Amino acid sequence: MKAAVLHGFGQVPVVEECDEPEAGDGEEVLDVIAAGINPVDLAIASGGFYGPRPQLPAPVGSEAVVRGGDGRLSYLPKAVSGTLAERAVVRTDSLIALPDGISPGQAVAAGVAGLAAWGSLQHGAGLRSGESVLVLGASGAVGQIAIQAAQLLGASRVVGAARSEEGLEHVAELGVDATVALDGGADLGERLSAAADGGFDVCIDLVYGPPLLAALGAMAPLGRIVQVGSAAAPDVTLPAAALRARNLLLTGYTSARLSPEQRAATYLAVAGAFAAGTVAIEIEEIPLENAAQAWSRQAGSPHHKLVVVP
């Protein structure tokens, strides 16, 4: 079968013929209908990810929409083998049947990106109706879904911050209450505070680094900051007084820590919103033979979801 195969950590996968995957106990080999490329996939392929390192060479990719033996489509949150392939090994007890009215591309977008966005608000921040939300790094797939999820979950004010002018335009089209440019200006903290209109109750941080430091002063007392990604910087010097001054809570979030029941319920909430049209992002479907180019484009942080179709 054809698959995007990683031969060395830090390299770009190569689309090539490889051996058919073999299923073990409780597993099946199913056809991949659509697969996502995500920042976590690039992190794993770099060799520096905090989770287990794959044994190389190996097909890459972690999530997919697959077709079962009965012809029905399901979302696969974590495959046993790589999903940027024509077929993948799956644990049958991990499959989530797709709701009616959702396309395979939307179903993939509701997966890793959707779980990170919706889950960080619901399970990470415990967002309550009437609270205000700041999304740092709002122009990517996760950020755009987070903005729409916050609106659906009852946020009273939603502000999106992004680095590029094009990104800010994407964010503004989502009906946010304000946008803020993450341009590195010394007055970023002041601009975030002005957009907060009294302080943010929740901050979903997809960038880390200086933008997070600037956001600390824009938080309301007892505000919750949920750290999801590090697109701007991998580390930061965080003043202790900045957290104590407002009794802020800073916590990390990963969907991998959700229970199977939480993961399925959260996924179906996002997928249902996609099917209903209340959440939407641009989705680009790319043939498997062009997966290497798509991989490189993902490293450049596209403002939409890249979906590989075998």
**Are the C-beta atoms of residues 66 and 36 closer than 8 Å to each other?**
no
Domain spans of the chain, in order of start: 2-110+279-309, 114-256
> What contacts 15, CB < 8 A, 6 or more positions away?
2, 3, 4, 5, 288, 289, 290, 291, 292
Tens of pLDDT, residues 149-161: 999 999 999 999 9
Q: What is the pLDDT of residue 127?
A: 98
Q: Rounded to two decimals, what is the model's pTM? A: 0.95
Write out the CATH class of domain 2-110+279-309. alpha beta
How many of the other CB atoms lie within 10 Å of CB of 277?
8
Tens of pLDDT, residues 220-242: 999 999 999 988 888 999 999 98
Tens of pLDDT, residues 82-117: 999 999 999 989 999 999 999 999 999 999 999 999
Q: What is the pLDDT of residue 233?
A: 84
Give dist(CA 149, CA 118) in Å, integer: 6
How many of the other CB atoms lie within 10 Å of CB of 11?
13
Q: What is the pLDDT of residue 3?
A: 97
Structure tokens at 142: 């996760």
Structure tokens at 145: 């879904």
Task: Label residue 302 by pLDDT band (50, 70, 90).
Answer: confident
| pLDDT beyond 90 at 49 | no
Task: Label residue 52 by pLDDT band (50, 70, 90).
Answer: confident
Instruction: For the domain covering 114-256, report its CATH number.
Output: 3.40.50.720
Given the structure tokens 């996939």, which residue do they identify?
41
